[in-house]
Structure 1
Amino acid sequence: METWINDLMETLGAPGAGIAVALENLFPPIPSEVILPLAGFASANGRMDLIAALLWTTLGSVVGALALYGVGALFGRERTLAIAARLPLVKVADIERTEAWFLRHGTKAVFFGRMVPIFRSLVSVPAGVERMPLPVFLVLTTLGSALWNTAFVSAGYVLGDNWEEVTGYVSVYSKAVLVVAAGAVLWFLGLRLLRPGRGVRRGNR
C-alpha cells in the first residue's frame, strides 16, 4: 500500500496525494495515516509543494465525502427504514432515534467526525440520507478535513525520514476508537437480545 501511494505521488505530485485521500474516504482500509505523513515527507524532500499538498489532500477529502453524501441521498430515508425493518436485532425505532439525534447534532458530527478514523468516512452517508444542506456539509467537511490533513501532513514534513512514527500514534488512536465502537455494538446487541421487538414506525415526514 505504501509503495502504491508513493508511486502515485511520484507520478502526479500533489494531485496524486489528493486522489489517494479521495479513495481513502471511499475505501477506509486505505490508511490516511500513511497518505498524509508521506505527502508531508515528499514536501520536505522537494517532490511537491507543502501548500499544494495541503490543498490537494483537503480537496480529495471533500470529493470522497461528497461521493458518500450522494450515496446517502440516493438511498434515502424510506429505503433505509425499509431495510432496517428487515434486519435482525434492529428496531425501526432505533433508526428513528439515530435520525433524531443526527438532526440535532449533525453539524458537530460532520465536523468532528472528520478527525475520527473510520467514522470520518461513514458520517457522510447519514448526512446525505438526512439531506443536510449541501453548502453546510461542504463547509464543515472542508474545515474538519483541513484540520486533520494539516496536522498529519505537517507532522510528516517536520519528521522527514522518520515520518512513519506518525502511523504508530494514529494506530493506537484507531485501535482505541475500534474498541469503543465494538463495545457500543455489543451493548446494543445485548439490549436487543434482552428486549426483543421490532419497534413502531412513525408516520412519514
Structure 2
Amino acid sequence: MLDPVSEPTGITGWVVGVMEAVGAPGAGLAIAVENLFPPLPSEVFLPLAGFTAQQGHMNLLAAIIWTTAGSVVGALALYWLGASLGAARIRALVDRMPLVKVEDVDKTQAWFDRHGRKAVFLGRMVPLFRSFISIPAGVQRMSLVEFTLLTGAGSLIWNTALILAGYLLGTQWYLVEQYAGVFSKVVLGLLAAAVVWFVVRRVRGRAKQH
C-alpha cells in the first residue's frame, strides 16, 4: 500500500485504487483518459504506476506497455476528432473568431507539413502539447501508421522515464511530480506569453488599419 503520509486523494486516489485492483490495464486506462483531458496529471499517474509496480500490485514492464498503449489510444481519439473537423471546417470556424485570420490556419498547416513528424514525436513529452498535437495531425490527415508509430515512440520514452523514476524513488514518488510540475509551469508560462504577444500584435495591427 501507499505511504499514509503521501497517500493521494480525489481523482489521483481513485486512479491508485484502479491500478491496485486491476493492475497495469488500469494504469493504461488512466493515461488514455489523461490524453483526452489534459488537466489530469500524467506527471502524477505515471510515477504512481511505477510505485504501484514496486509494491507488487503490477508488473513493471506491463505498466510501461499498458500506459504506452493508453497514450496511443487517447491520441488516436483526438486524431480522429481533427480528421472529422477537417481543414475546411476549421477555416470556417476561424473566420468567425475575432483577432484570428484564415491565413493563420494556412500558416499553421504549412508549418505542420514541414515539422509535423518532429512535432508529433517530441510533443508527446511536453505537457498540453502531448494531447493537442494529435488534432492538427488529424486535420492534416497525417499517415495513420506514421502518426501511430511516432506517438507510440514518444509516449514510450516519456512513460518509461516517469514510471522508472517512480519505481526507483519508492515512497518518494511524489518528487517526480514536483520536478515535472516545474516543467509544466514553464510550458504554461511560455504558452500564456505567446497568446498575450499574439493578441497585442493583432490588436495593434487592427488599430493601425483604422
Does 2:62 correspond to 1:52?
yes
Once the two structures are TM-superposed, the CA of residue 71 in structure 1 deviates from its matched residue by: 0.2
| Alignment correspondent of 2:105 | 95
Deviations 1:103-161 (A, max 9, x none): 11000000000000011000000000000000100010000000000000000000001
Task: State the one-letter code of the partner of 1:193.
Answer: V
Task: State the one-letter code of the partner of 1:2.
Answer: T
Task: State the one-letter code of the partner of 2:75.
Answer: A
Deviations 1:75-115 (A, max 9, x none): 00000000000000001111110110011100000000000
> Aligned equivalents of 1:111 and 1:173: distance in 2?
18
TM-score, length basis structure 1: 0.95
Once the two structures are TM-superposed, the CA of residue 196 in structure 1 deviates from its matched residue by: 2.5
> Aligned equivalents of 1:93 and 1:76: distance in 2?
16
DSSP 3-state at the match of 1:76: helix
DSSP 3-state at the match of 1:93: helix
Does 2:142 correspond to 1:148?
no
Once the two structures are TM-superposed, the CA of residue 190 in structure 1 deviates from its matched residue by: 1.0
Which residue of 2, 5, 18 maps to 2:28? Answer: 18
1:42-191 → structure 2 map (5 Å cutoff): 42-191=52-201
How many residue pairs get aligned? The number is 197
| Alignment correspondent of 2:42 | 32
DSSP 3-state at the match of 1:195: helix
Superposed CA RMSD in Å reads 0.9
> Aligned equivalents of 1:94 and 1:75: distance in 2?
17
- What fraction of aligned residue pairs are identical, expressed as a percent? 57
Task: State the one-letter code of the partner of 1:84.
Answer: V
> Aligned equivalents of 1:80 and 1:95: distance in 2?
8
| Alignment correspondent of 1:203 | none
> Aligned equivalents of 1:192 and 1:93: distance in 2?
13
> Aligned equivalents of 1:196 and 1:145: distance in 2?
41
> Aligned equivalents of 2:160 and 2:179: distance in 1?
16
> Aligned equivalents of 1:37 and 1:64: distance in 2?
19
TM-score, length basis structure 2: 0.92
Q: Which runs of 5+ in 2 are unaligned?
A: 1-10
> Aligned equivalents of 1:33 and 1:88: distance in 2?
35
